[in-house]
Structure 1
């Protein structure tokens, strides 16, 4: 089974497509990218992230 970008969209709606489609271009933004990703996932799940709390 192959995993496509579309398969991840429902679960990772907060994940910027640029990070999924072009990791080479997003490396320079990795810290901010990861911060937004970590901050976005808990809100999607409806829980508070204990790491950021």
Structure 2
């Protein structure tokens, strides 16, 4: 990652995603719902890192 990548924002995003998934699971969300949420994390990370890759 380049020096301009916002590591704190990425960490907050993933902590929020994990917390939301935990609440969803606790409240009875099924595997399909949890997998859909997890699947949304990859494109989001792609978007956050696209302009900050070194090399």
TM-score surpassing 0.5?
no
TM-score by length of 2: 0.42
Higher RCO (C-alpha 8 Å, min separation 6): 2
TM-score by length of 1: 0.43
Q: Which has the larger radius of gyration?
A: 2
